[in-house]
Amino acid sequence: MIPDPNPDVLLALVERFSELAERRLATPARTTAAATRARQLRDHLETYIAPRARDIDAPLVVVLLGPTGAGKSSLFNALAGRAASQVGVLRPTTRDVVVLLHPDDRAALFADGTFRGLRAADVRVVEDPAVASGLALVDAPDVDSIEHGNRILADRLAEAADLGIFVTTATRYADQVPWDVLGRVRDRGLPLLVVVNRLPPDDGSRREVIDDLTRLLASRGVRLETGSAELIGVAEGALDPAIDGVDPRAIAPLLARVEALRRDRAARRALATRALAGAVAGLPPLAESVADDLDHEAIDSDALRRSADAAFDNSLRDVRQQLRRGTFLRQETLRNWQAFVGADQITRLFATGIGRARGLVAQLVHGTPAAPIAQVRESTTSDILSLARQHASDASQRSAMSWSENPLIAEKLAARGELWSESSGFDARLEERLNAWLASIATDVRATGAPKRTLARGASAGVNAVGVAVMVATFAHTGGLTGAEVGVAAATAFLNQKLLSALFGEAAMVEMIQRAGARLDAALAETFAEERARFTSLLADTTGLRELAHDLRIISAEVRAEPWQHAETGDASR
């Protein structure tokens, strides 16, 4: 025996689905279709399913559905025992929603419950203290109304119902539009009763219509509520003018079913639970479609991220290669610095050997021509800045061009014209890091020279001059240079090496230059990472997207595994 659904289990599932749906909406979808599916999942949960799950004892909602002219309003009046719904002759016949209920049920349905999302202008409420509380009877707009809003409203009521009564006629039961609605009723597992109006008078013809409709229902996977009221035929002309509706005697089994639900709270609760289970069972297909959307967005985001990564990584690599080759250094800068480090006094020190640290410091501070410290620092940093700016701009342009070909991100890109070049604060940020880099070289010179007392007593000009020598040594060598440049760069590199080696020793000199190069690499990498982040910030976190897709599939699998999935009205695999 298949167990009945447990309301507490259903509530827990609904709350988990709702949390996942909200997480999905927090990440903007990349396509209109994906955004629509995300909203449908959230709205379906919060508007229809969650109110019932949170209050399984709320008034039962019985909705009459059917095509134009099928006799819904006439049947509604028969069930109400009065002319509560206007019977019309023009399409669309039912122009608004008519709700018959006990006055005590109104707040539970409209304030916080099933009907809270309905516009007051679309609803006419008929309060009747004479009917028992606990059940609301609803006459929905025609499912094939020529007014689009009416069809949407009918669909919403079908989603909100705990029991559906499908009303058709002997001549219209095979129309396509009503069957589209029945397909949605089937997918959400809504308990359903069927009334066929205007059957022919002879038994043979009546039986033929009933049998054919039963066959169609079975072939479409629509399962009816069990009991004597599951499919009722009403003969042509079986009307009661006093109530402007169907003769109550013709629908006696249906009246008995509705009255039994009104009288029996346990029966209402059981039906509401089955309807809720059917609605929950209908969630996995939509949830899995949303999960597919998330996976596709993650794949697209990864591809876009890889494109930006490649553009900025390649540009940063090119900058580093040009810096290592020294091709960006101006000949004038190299010549000026060569003139300083190649002064006669320092050359003599190189030739005779350095025996005294004080003598060397004195030569650096007092005995040589004034070191062109500011000029070399300014020209070198401005050249680094210009080189980096050009490559950052190129990387931005390549990324923007590549991304603009992707319709999922092109709209965002079009609204961010600044992404087609380097950012407005690029120069200021990199210049600040280059100044910090130069300061770090001076700090390193002091720390490296302090143990030997070589520079411990030197003036700041000596430290700064040696710092610039380290900076130039980081770049200036013959790799990549040709012609006259080779001589200038080679001489400068040689003299820098001799000077620094004499001051610190071979090993310490190499380590200091390597540390300076590493810190410059880090400063450039940080700056280029900021430029790249302008693009990647437009993308969702793909790890989060995939985790959410996984969670949606997990809960969908749990719903499919529930034993009540195979109950008569709750099999979502139909």
pLDDT band for 568, please (50, 70, 90 cuts): very low
pLDDT of residue 102: 93
Give the model confidence (pLDDT) of 264-315 as tens digits: 999 999 999 999 999 999 999 999 999 999 999 999 999 999 999 999 999 9
Question: Which amino acid is present at 293?
Answer: D
Give the model confidence (pLDDT) of 473-512 as tens digits: 788 654 434 444 444 455 566 666 667 776 777 788 788 8
Q: ∠ at Cα 385 (379, 387), nearest 5°?
A: 100
Give the model confidence (pLDDT) of 240-272 as tens digits: 888 889 999 999 999 999 999 999 999 999 999
> Is 101 in a helix, a strand, or coil?
strand
pLDDT of residue 263: 92
> Is 60 in a helix, a strand, or coil?
strand
**More confident position, 96 or 516:** 516
pLDDT of residue 451: 58
Alpha helices in 326-372 (DSSP H): 331-341, 344-352, 357-362
Cα separation of 22 and 109, whole Å? 24
**Residue 390 pLDDT > 50, yes or no?**
yes
Residue 384 near residue 328 (C-beta atoms within 8 A): yes
Strands 231-235, 163-169: parallel, antiparallel or unpaired by DSSP? unpaired
pLDDT of residue 557: 96
pLDDT of residue 356: 45
pLDDT band for 566, please (50, 70, 90 cuts): low
**What's the mean per-residue pLDDT of the chain?**
82
pLDDT of residue 424: 93
Closest CA to 395 of 525, 300, 532: 532
Task: Put the strands of the sheet holding 163-169 in their side by side order.
Answer: 123-127, 97-101, 135-139, 60-65, 163-169, 192-199, 231-235
Tokens 């090496």 locate to 497
Instruction: Provide the token pair at 253.
Output: 């089994």
Closest CA to 286 of 550, 553, 562: 553
Give the model confidence (pLDDT) of 24-36 as tens digits: 999 888 888 999 9
Cα–Cα distances (Å) from 115 to 40, 108, 109, in that order, read 17, 9, 5
Cα separation of 515 and 470, whole Å? 10
Enumerate long-range contacts of 350-355, CB under 8 Å, 24 or more apart.
350/498, 350/499, 350/502, 354/502
- Percent pLDDT > 70 in the chain is 81
Give the model confidence (pLDDT) of 324-374 as tens digits: 877 666 666 666 666 666 654 454 544 444 444 445 444 544 445 556 777
